[in-house]
Copies of this chain bind each other. A is one copy, B any other.
């Protein structure tokens, strides 16, 4: 394959250029659409993201979330009902103000940047008593944000594809149970299906969602040492149920305000992490369960007979529910091999005159880049074996990198050194409440890194002092650069 068609940089050497090339050459998204910050998602990413949606929705439904489709437009007045929310989101809102031939709308409508202010007015109509709680919902939707930072395809766009769950609970304790359930869902889907290692943090007080009492989020690691915030969960302040009057009658018939949580896995953004975490110098490596296709049959020197026989192999595989494509193009074998490796298809079957004669097949697996010759009779058995261990291999590779990236540091200098060499720093810290903000700002200014928060699922106890201010540490935090 010519240099220009393949990926021409090493992932570790020039990650940014590597990412740009993979998006373009594997035809994941086209950046030439003529609205700034918007891209066209192409089949090779859409097919994978549809599978990502499917798994996420299946788990959410199993846990009792019911699917809704809300309007894309939210009246300005809804938006203004919660003061922190309007302050936090207004700068990013696109406004629909007219229709037809410049006729003004009666009221400005927001293209939803998120849907709290659409959902909760309806919750107020539907929720009556404690019997209705927890009230667990979700929707698959696009959201829109007028980003002022530089956009990057999939990572930060002005329109992205996500799921948002919104749940109302009787008590704050029930709401916190939901936060833990969301963390579990993140593990079941992001880790176990998409193959992405992460840490589920509680964010420091100065880094919360507008209108949240507590904010939680999973951070995934990039090879350049930056972390990306993937799903976040928010325990909202009661200013939300109060603004939208989301009440219930408890067992004694007394009206109480609900507690509301929301969780937002952004599928098109998580897809970026799938590309980044699993990709290598040759290009993409899709986890089996979310690969656009699982198997490609590349015919070597294609002719009528070989194409016919390849179709028989395809049918046999499809009967077992594998998704298969045949490459019978006139390119030379090497070109074909590199092309499908760049595209990240888990298995390539090489099939030519020799294999036809000898009743063999050559199987190449992308996870460990190994070829093996098998008898045609053993095809299904072999594919079953590979598919059952494939994702495990990818996850283990990703976990190793992730765990190696975490280092402990106890003073300013070693924090700086570690961050500069692309690590995530674990360290003791004075406080994640407002009084720790000054130390976090020092880190931001001097190291260009951020206090990502405390691990939700661990009760590590600090024993020393904050490496920044020297006061007694109250928390163990993680520090990293981020997107």
Contact = CB atoms under 8 A, between A and B. Distances in A.
Interface string A370-402: 000000000000000000000000000000000
Contacts of A96: 94-97, 111
B40 A68 contact: yes
Contact of A71 (B38, B67, B91, B102): B38
Interface string A89-113: 0111111111111100100010100
A91 B67 CA distance: 33
A99 B144 CA distance: 11
B43 A66 contact: yes
A95 B93 contact: no
A376 to B, nearest CB: 26
B95 A99 contact: yes
Contact of A98 (B33, B67, B72, B95): B95
Given A32-B122, A42-B68, A68-B42, A93 B97 contact: no
Chain A interface secondary structure, helix, strand, loop or mixed? mixed
Contacts of A132: none
A78 interface: yes
A146 B106 CA distance: 13
Nearest to A146: B99
A70 B68 CA distance: 22
B92 A95 contact: no
A362 interface: no
B97 A97 contact: yes
A69 interface: yes
A34 interface: yes
Contacts of A121: 33-34
A50 B144 CA distance: 23
Nearest to A106: B36
Contacts of A161: 69
A423 to B, nearest CB: 36
Contact of A72 (B71, B144, B146): B144
Interface in A248-281: none
Contacts of A72: 72, 111, 142, 144, 159
Interface of A: 30, 32-35, 38-43, 46-47, 50, 66-75, 78, 90-102, 105, 109, 111, 118, 121-122, 125, 142, 144, 146, 159, 161
Given A93-B99, A97-B97, 19 more contacts: A30-B122, A32-B125, A33-B118, A33-B121, A35-B73, A35-B75, A40-B70, A40-B122, A41-B69, A43-B66, A69-B161, A72-B144, A72-B159, A73-B159, A90-B100, A92-B100, A94-B99, A95-B102, A96-B111
Q: Which 3 A-B pairs have the closest CB atoms?
A: A41-B69, A43-B66, A38-B71
19 contacts: A30-B125, A32-B125, A33-B71, A33-B118, A34-B78, A35-B75, A38-B71, A40-B122, A43-B68, A46-B69, A50-B67, A72-B142, A72-B159, A73-B94, A90-B100, A94-B109, A95-B97, A96-B111, A97-B98
